[in-house]
């Protein structure tokens, strides 16, 4: 096994002066970027700015026209591509789970090729399912039986099965419902701490960038514009493009003036379920709508929340029986107080309630918690 490991941890990735052209189109122009071991670096920028191209040069899915990439001071051109890729996890938006393989076989494709023994594979699959918060019984299911969020979790699990020290992620949450996206971001942050990997993460979503990134690299028109810590970007934007991109985040700096309703996510009807409903029916609807959180009501009044995984594993019961209590706020409550309360309770989620009816969701994240 050991001989298949190219590196145990990432000390540094140095991208030097790489360019890539497709015909006349410049996809990347003289990109210089140093990624530090252990950090989560965000690549952000408008569509077509070269983010995906940059990411793919790191695992040699794309070979640049010129320039050089070094991982731990080794030129990656000296590694065999297949071997290099087995040392680098890769997660994409389209998920790319193989429809003909069940979850266990999807996750363990490379371990099986590398002839791990059966017990080791089973243990690893269970460990990873546990890590991404999915029940073990999912191992036998097929991708088409899973919701979008569950598939995305499996995609993540598969990418880290070989315990690669480096993870490349290309808009992994891009296709998900906004609330589910926030839930997964929070889960991902937890996982990330456990894994302690170096991560390069592409996104379109500046909010996501601020929430997850240690540093943010901003790209535009095939070029790197600025790379810095989130706060620096707000305080010292290099040009108008950067300041516009980060402007929406200035509001976080004035949290004292904000109320819960300013930051809550509005709750659309598809999230709300009568607690007397049967779980089988609820699970089907949730899968169809691509959501993983049900807000349960009876007579329009809030009862609590229920999680998709739990609903799935108790299909013969009513929704009421798997509903859990949840923290609630009024929309007029001061935001900083609300966040502080949640932090104290170690909660990440609360329902915003008006006259007993659920109207919105509050999802806390790293940035909010840091600001309190």
Ligand X SMILES: Nc1ncnc2c1ncn2[C@@H]1O[C@H](COP(=O)(O)OP(=O)(O)OP(=O)(O)O)[C@@H](O)[C@H]1O
Return the half-sphere exposure (C-beta side, CA atoms, 13 A cut-off) of residue 66: 4
- Residue 106's nearest CA partner among 156, 148, 167 is 156
Q: At what angle do helices 148-159 and 178-195 cross, to 10 degrees?
A: 20
Q: Does 158 bind other proteins (CB under 8 A)?
A: yes
Q: At what angle do helices 148-159 and 118-131 cross, to 10 degrees?
A: 130
Q: Structure tokens of 244?
A: 């516009």
Q: Does 60 bind ligand X (CB under 6 A)?
A: no
Pick the binder of other proteins from 3, 73, 100, 240 (CB under 8 A): 100
Q: Which is nearer to ligand X, 246 or 319 (CB)?
A: 246
44 binds, among other proteins, ligand X, Mg ion, none (CB under 5 to 8 A by kind): none
Site string for other proteins, 17-56 (x = CB under 8 A): ----------------------------------------
- Identify the DSSP state of 178: H
- Residue 146's nearest CA partner among 183, 106, 111 is 106
Q: Does 49 bind ligand X (CB under 6 A)?
A: yes
* Minimum distance from residue 180 beta carbon to other proteins (Å): 19
Q: Does 25 bind ligand X (CB under 6 A)?
A: yes
Are residues 371 and 231 in contact, defined by beta-carbon separation less than 8 angstroms?
Answer: no
In degrees rounded to 5, what are phi and psi of residue 301? -90, 140
Number of Cβ within a 10 Å radius of residue 80: 10
Q: Does 52 bind ligand X (CB under 6 A)?
A: yes
Integer Cα distance of 320 and 273 in angstroms: 10
92 binds, among ligand X, other proteins, Mg ion, none (CB under 5 to 8 A by kind): other proteins
- Judged by CB under 6 A, the stretch of 41-49, 138-146, 310-318, 353-361 that binds ligand X is 41-49
Q: Does 51 bind ligand X (CB under 6 A)?
A: yes
Q: Does 96 bind other proteins (CB under 8 A)?
A: yes
Q: Output helix, strand, coil percentages for the chain, rounded to the nearest 5.
A: 40, 30, 30
Hey, which residues between 76 and 95 contact other proteins (CB under 8 A)?
A: 82-87, 90, 92, 94
Q: Which is nearer to other proteins, 286 or 306 (CB)?
A: 286
* Minimum distance from residue 100 beta carbon to other proteins (Å): 4
- Residue 166's nearest CA partner among 203, 196, 138 is 196
Q: Which spans of this chain sit near other proteins (rule: CB under 8 A)?
A: 59, 61, 82-87, 90, 92, 94, 96, 98-101, 109-110, 113, 142-145, 158-159, 162
């Amino acid at each position: 096994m050991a001989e298949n490991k190219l590196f145990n941890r990432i000390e540094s990735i140095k991208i030097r002066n790489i360019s890539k052209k497709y015909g006349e189109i410049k996809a990347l122009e003289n990109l210089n970027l140093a990624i530090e071991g252990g950090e989560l670096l965000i690549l952000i920028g408008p569509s077509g700015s070269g983010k995906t191209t940059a990411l793919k040069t790191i695992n040699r899915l794309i070979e640049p026209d010129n320039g050089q990439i070094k991982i731990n001071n080794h030129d990656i051109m000296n590694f065999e591509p297949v071997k290099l890729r087995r040392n680098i996890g890769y997660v994409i938006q389209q998920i790319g789970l193989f429809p003909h393989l069940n979850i266990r076989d999807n996750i363990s494709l490379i371990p099986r090729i590398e002839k791990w023994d059966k017990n080791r594979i089973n243990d690893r699959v269970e460990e990873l399912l546990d890590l991404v918060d999915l029940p073990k019984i999912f191992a036998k299911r097929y991708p088409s039986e899973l919701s979008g969020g569950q598939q995305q979790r499996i995609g993540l699990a598969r990418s880290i099965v070989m315990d690669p020290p480096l993870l490349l992620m290309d808009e992994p949450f891009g296709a998900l419902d906004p609330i589910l996206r926030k839930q997964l971001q929070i889960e991902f942050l937890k996982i990330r701490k456990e894994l302690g990997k170096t991560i390069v993460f592409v996104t379109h979503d500046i909010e996501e960038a601020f929430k997850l990134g240690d540093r943010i690299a901003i790209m535009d028109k095939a070029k790197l514009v600025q790379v810095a810590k989130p706060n620096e970007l707000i305080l010292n934007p290099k040009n108008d493009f950067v300041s516009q991109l980060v402007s929406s985040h200035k509001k976080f700096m004035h949290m004292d003036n904000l109320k819960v309703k300013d930051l809550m996510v509005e709750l659309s009807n598809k999230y709300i379920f009568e607690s007397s409903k049967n779980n089988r029916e609820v699970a089907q609807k949730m899968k169809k709508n691509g959501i993983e959180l049900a807000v349960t009501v009876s007579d329009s009044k809030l009862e609590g929340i229920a999680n998709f995984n739990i609903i799935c594993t108790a299909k013969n019961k009513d929704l009421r029986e798997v509903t859990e209590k949840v923290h609630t706020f009024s929309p007029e409550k001061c935001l900083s107080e609300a966040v502080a309360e949640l932090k104290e309770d170690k909660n990440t989620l609360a329902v915003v309630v008006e006259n007993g009816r659920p109207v919105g969701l509050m999802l806390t994240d790293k940035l909010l918690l840091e600001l309190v």
